[in-house]
Structure 1
Amino acid sequence: MMLKQILNVALAYVGVIVGAGLSSGQDLMQYFVSFGKWGILGAVILGILNAVFGKIIITFGSYFRSNDHFEVLSQIAGSITNKILDISLIICCFVVGFVMIAGAGSNLNQQFGMPFWSGALLCAVLIILVSFLDFEKITNVIGIFTPIIFIMIMIMAVYTFASQRFDFKELETIANTISTPMPNIWFSVLNYFSLCVMTGVSMAFVLGGSIMRIGVAEKGGTLGGFIIGIIITVTTCILYANVKLATTVDIPMLAIAKQIHPAFAFVYALVIFGLIFNTAFSLFYALAKRFSSNQSKRFYPIMIGTVVVGYILSFMGFKKLVSIMYPILGYIGFIMLMVLLIGWIKERSNVRDEKFLRRKMIRLITKKYDDEQEYTKADKEKFQKLGEDSIVDTKSIKSDIKDLVKEQFADDNK
């Protein structure tokens, strides 16, 4: 049961981060392949950073039981910094959201010849429709494409490196002609990672907030970040090896997939669309959560309104949007990284204490629903005391832990 939860969290986190730019290869071309062999080393370092901060972000969401990013940032950042980051994340969710919609239009146009407007519209409509599902179903939807893209990228890697010989001097020469917004690979790694954090942190906090067990959040975030690292590194290597082809199209990974087989490219195009949808949905969902204060009457009008405006702005074009907007958001993300790191150093012992506190509460309340154990008056008083000591509202933490245990017993009795 717990392993399944960890995997669900990891796959959902990957689904949030792996969007249009990464699965299509467009942002990796500009941020990493443009630096040639050094770009591959940069991708490896990026993967390590993803694993470390994936744990921090998801764990903070679980620790504070957050419904939106503001609930976490208000606890770990000063008032001025919090306001700056809150506004930045709101802008980021919206901007990258409509970049994703643009990516959906480009993807379906390149593979199926669909007009740009129709592919982008399909993505926008799906975002609105899925927002009406409950959060557990949404998490499953977000994670569904992750194992598929992982397997397909590995197939592309085997095909690329088993069937070709490479002139590395030629590859390096072509790679160095690619336009990049970054001055060097180290700055590129930091900027792109900051962008990843800015893109994923709002939804990741919400995702973490849905997890009661902090240990599950820690492991799920770490595993998700590790999987992202593998995907980024392998994809960068594939793009570098096929750089001559990759420089000529908007969706380079799709062009490489076509070399394997048209049917493979067909499936890959659908998977890219799914991943684009995942990221776009996560961003607009997190944005609507931030402005609705968890009130459903306000949530849906905000969700629909922002998606409609995002669809209109997506006509600026995918490739152009990536090159202009991503570096700007990456610079803002430097502040976010520092806040997260400093917050983690300060709160780490409190997070550990809260993790053990919740474990004790779960063990105590399990007695109440287990016919083979006795739930005594002393247990009840201790459960109440632990609830009062939790960082989360006493009534909420008690209710949520009871629901968690009831659900576990229901699953065990199926």
Structure 2
Amino acid sequence: MEKASINIKKVVLLAGALCAYWIGSGFATGQEVLQFFGASGTKGILAAIIFLIIMSYLTYTLFGIGQKKKFENPYNVFEYYCGKIIGQVYIWYSVVLVYAICVVMLAGGGATINQYYGVPTYVGTGIIAVLALGTTLLGVEKLIDIIGVIGPVKILFVAIVGIAGVATIFAHPGTLTNASKLMPTLGFKAASSNWAWSGALYAFLALMVSIPFQVDCGASAGSEKEARIAGLTGTVAFTVAIIFLTIAEVVYDKLIAGQQVPTLTIAKHISPALGLIFSVLIVVSIYSAVASFLLVTVRKFAKDRTKKFNIIAIILTVVATLFGGIIPFDKLVNILYPLAGYSAIVFAGFIVVKGIREKISKTDDMLDEAS
């Protein structure tokens, strides 16, 4: 019966939606992967495996609990794991964090369009804001359908860049080893001086900004098994993208030194046509991430596709558009990101403890029934 409930198309859409949610402007430009993985050279691949191990357990759990509990509001998951008081602290911190990142990405989106296409910044910001708002107003199910298709496309093009790096390694076997040794000398910023901690920290950052979204995705699945498979599939696909991009950045280390957008630099080097596609992909990545983050924020205050939801979504979009460029986002990120990482570690602890307690409770119940 459980097997019959697995819808492959739904699994792919949910996995793609998770990838699209995580692949925002930072990932699409290559800066996130460079700082958390690429800067460590070949050890960045091992860091990606650490990310995979941690994130697989967390997505498996959150997608599953989203389907199992079907919370009226996805933010209720914080109270489910942490209790009323601590849960409320997490709820409001998560709302502030997700919206702040949404504002940052929207502001950065306008600047990105201006840099690539020469369109005035306010026009670029306005275009992304309108597209993101329009997608958000369609509701969570439609958003998952839309960005669920975008996610695999993002993975595909990141893979193309990675495959070019792998091809270079095969043509020149010593390239990866030599480049890996050279990486620390090229002045790249690293998220941490320890490659293993970088991988773990990236997992916890990804967790903290996506908890309500993962719960929503899980609730959208047809069964608990389908939800868990989708969560694992999305995590594996995202990790593959990290590994491919890490390889490409290490192989093309000298090429990307001093570049703000490593992926675009590598893509242009491979082919001018691929460079053009990547410039579009970066904009699409920003749009899909802004739409997702906006929807997750508004879902705290109202059910999607209601009048209240629409009004709040419009107001938050206008505020983000008007004030995005004013907020010193470098300081904002510097404060919020480290705090997000450490608060996510604590939340992951709550998830583990809750899971252990439930298993003990089930075991006790089974023993009572046996006796």
Do they superpose with TM above 0.5?
Answer: yes
1:319-365 deviations in whole A, cap 9, x for unaligned?
A: 776566433322222222222232333346999xxxxxxxxxxxxxx
175 and 308 in structure 1: CA distance in 2 versus 1, 3 angstrom threshold: farther
Show the counterpart of 1:255: 265
The gaps in structure 1 that reach 5 residues or longer are 352-414
| CA–CA distance in structure 2, aligned partners of residues 192 and 82 of structure 1 | 23
| CA–CA distance in structure 2, aligned partners of residues 170 and 320 of structure 1 | 32
Match among 307, 310, 318 for residue 300 of structure 1: 310
Show the counterpart of 1:118: 123
Is residue 2:340 matched to residue 1:335?
no
Q: Which amino acid aligns with 1:40?
A: I
Match among 54, 58, 71 for residue 59 of structure 2: 54
317-326 or 274-283: bigger deviation: 317-326
C-alpha contact (below 8 Å) 1:254/1:265 kept by paired residues:
yes
| RMSD, matched Cα | 2.6
Deviation of 1:105 after TM superposition, in Å, equals 2.8
Show the counterpart of 2:365: none
| CA–CA distance in structure 2, aligned partners of residues 328 and 116 of structure 1 | 30
Deviation of 1:231 after TM superposition, in Å, equals 0.9
Deviation of 1:226 after TM superposition, in Å, equals 1.0
Deviation of 1:39 after TM superposition, in Å, equals 2.2
Show the counterpart of 1:283: 293
1:10-48 deviations in whole A, cap 9, x for unaligned?
A: 111211122221222111222222223322211222123
Is residue 2:213 matched to residue 1:208?
no
311 and 270 in structure 1: CA distance in 2 versus 1, 3 angstrom threshold: same
Deviation of 1:97 after TM superposition, in Å, equals 1.0
21 and 186 in structure 1: CA distance in 2 versus 1, 3 angstrom threshold: same
Q: Which has the larger radius of gyration?
A: 1
C-alpha contact (below 8 Å) 1:33/1:39 kept by paired residues:
yes
Show the counterpart of 1:89: 94
| CA–CA distance in structure 1, aligned partners of residues 70 and 176 of structure 2 | 52
| CA–CA distance in structure 2, aligned partners of residues 175 and 108 of structure 1 | 31
What is the SS of the residue equivalent to 1:131?
Answer: helix
C-alpha contact (below 8 Å) 2:166/2:247 kept by paired residues:
no
Q: Which amino acid aligns with 2:113?
A: L
C-alpha contact (below 8 Å) 2:42/2:176 kept by paired residues:
no
C-alpha contact (below 8 Å) 2:37/2:198 kept by paired residues:
yes
Q: Percent identity?
A: 24
Deviation of 1:169 after TM superposition, in Å, equals 4.1
Matches within 5 A, 1:353-368: none
Is residue 2:251 matched to residue 1:246?
no
Is residue 2:351 matched to residue 1:346?
no
What is the SS of the residue equivalent to 1:266?
Answer: helix
244-253 or 311-320: bigger deviation: 311-320
What is the SS of the residue equivalent to 1:68?
Answer: coil
C-alpha contact (below 8 Å) 1:106/1:250 kept by paired residues:
no
C-alpha contact (below 8 Å) 2:74/2:299 kept by paired residues:
no
| CA–CA distance in structure 1, aligned partners of residues 276 and 358 of structure 2 | 47
TM-score relative to the length of structure 1: 0.77
